[in-house]
């Protein structure tokens, strides 16, 4: 390679490294703008007393950026709906039931005191808001942190009502542990009071690769479309992450660092596998994906099938040849490798991780 071409390649490598280093900053800014618009639409629907439609706006935000949608939509609802509704926002409240009532009162701007005093003050406040035609909404993020006692306290708060209307609307966001808690027999009463619920599952392969491509696109300067991740690298990361967006983010970030350390301007399957090896607690091992290894295995199987056919079809000379081929093929598969490189090429990694 000429000196001029080498300098151009080096400049390109440094530019790609620069964009990768600033991925989080730029992506966060643009995702914030998108999520802010979505939260504004959700807030408008909340003001119009359309909670199901508002929740669909939240789901749309999840598709934009699953890792930060909850926080941004929760904050957006609180910011944009305060003029027409009264909101209290609690984030992962790991407190006892009495302290939970204290937090709710503090969020609504009420004075705190003993539990009976706070409940009386809260009830009076909610009646005033109802008389003014304003919705009082309690948003609990990471609600699984409440535990059984905290969820029971939330149920008691839902008892604040008039003859016809609930005084407090409660929206809970949580992980799968929240569903497990709500299935407990002693929490059946709060489970029966849930009017609408929605669960987001893992992505499929097409959605996962599109998700990675979208995050890369949002982090880049306009006019640059060089594929930082190869198709095989994206599929490897997605499969190892069990198609969970948060885990995909972590593995993709590590794969970028591995590629940068190797001086590569593109993340390949090799770099993705390095990131997976560095995250045994998060990632599950994937089946061997290298195309040349798959080709060798397919060739071995095809040769053995041909040998078996020849064994029963052709002359005694062909039969002797077929027996020799079968013996060689079996020996090539079962024999221990002479070198570490050979061992890694001949022994596929088996996916023993349990399904999510």
Q: Would you list the DSSP string of 171-236? A: EE---HHHHHHHTSGGGHHHHHT-----------HHHHHHHHHHHHHHTS-TT----SB-HHHHHH
pLDDT of 340 higher than 60: no
Write the pLDDT tens digit of every residue in 142-168: 999 999 999 999 998 988 888 888 899
Write the pLDDT tens digit of every residue in 64-83: 544 444 444 455 455 444 45
CB 138 within 8 A of CB 100: no
The domain 202-277 is placed in CATH, from the list 3.40.1410.10, 1.10.8.60, 3.40.50.720, 1.20.120.80, at 1.10.8.60
pLDDT of 170 higher than 60: yes
Which CATH code fits 84-200?
Answer: 3.40.50.300
pLDDT of 18 higher than 60: no
Write the pLDDT tens digit of every residue in 247-268: 999 999 999 999 999 999 999 9
pLDDT of 49 higher than 90: no
Parse the chain into domains and list their residue ranges.
Answer: 1-80, 84-200, 202-277, 293-335
Tokens of 233: 């690298």
Give dist(CA 43, CA 56) in Å, integer.
Answer: 12
Q: What's the chain's Rg over C-alpha atoms? A: 29
Selection from 164, 157, 201 nearest residue 179 by Cα: 201
Give dist(CA 48, CA 110) in Å, integer.
Answer: 26
Write the pLDDT tens digit of every residue in 208-240: 999 999 999 888 887 778 889 999 999 999 999
């Amino acid at each position: 390679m000429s000196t001029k071409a080498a300098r151009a390649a080096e400049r390109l490598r440094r530019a790609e490294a620069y964009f990768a280093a600033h991925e989080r900053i730029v992506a966060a800014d643009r995702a914030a703008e998108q999520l802010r618009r979505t939260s504004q639409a959700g807030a408008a629907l909340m003001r119009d007393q359309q909670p199901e439609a508002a929740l669909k706006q939240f789901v749309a935000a999840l598709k934009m950026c699953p890792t930060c949608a909850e926080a941004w939509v929760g904050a957006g609802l609180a910011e944009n709906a305060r003029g027409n509704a009264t909101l209290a926002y609690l984030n992962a409240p790991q407190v006892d039931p009495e302290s939970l009532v204290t937090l709710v009162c503090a969020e609504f701007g009420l004075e705190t005191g003993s539990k009976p005093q706070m409940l009386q003050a809260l009830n009076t406040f909610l009646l005033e808001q109802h008389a003014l035609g304003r919705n009082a909404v309690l948003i609990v993020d990471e609600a699984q942190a409440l535990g059984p006692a905290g969820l029971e306290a939330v149920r008691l708060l839902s008892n604040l009502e008039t003859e016809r209307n609930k005084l407090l609307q409660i929206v809970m966001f949580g992980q799968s542990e929240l569903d497990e808690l709500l299935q407990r027999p002693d929490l059946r009463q709060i489970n029966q009071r849930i009017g609408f619920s929605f669960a987001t599952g893992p992505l499929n392969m097409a959605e996962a690769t599109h998700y990675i491509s979208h995050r890369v696109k949002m982090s880049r300067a306009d006019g640059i479309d060089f594929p930082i991740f190869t198709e095989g690298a994206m599929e490897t990361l997605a499969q190892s992450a069990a198609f969970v967006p948060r885990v995909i983010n972590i593995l993709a970030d590590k794969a970028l660092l591995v590629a940068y350390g190797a001086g590569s301007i593109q993340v390949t399957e090799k770099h993705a596998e390095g990131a997976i090896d560095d995250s045994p607690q998060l990632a599950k091992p994937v089946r061997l994906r290298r195309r040349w290894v798959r080709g060798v295995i397919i060739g071995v199987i095809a040769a053995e099938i041909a040998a078996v056919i020849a064994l029963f079809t052709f002359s005694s000379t062909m039969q002797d040849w077929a027996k020799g081929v079968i013996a060689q093929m079996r020996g090539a598969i079962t024999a221990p490798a002479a070198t570490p490189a050979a061992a890694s090429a001949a022994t596929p990694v088996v996916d023993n991780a349990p399904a999510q």
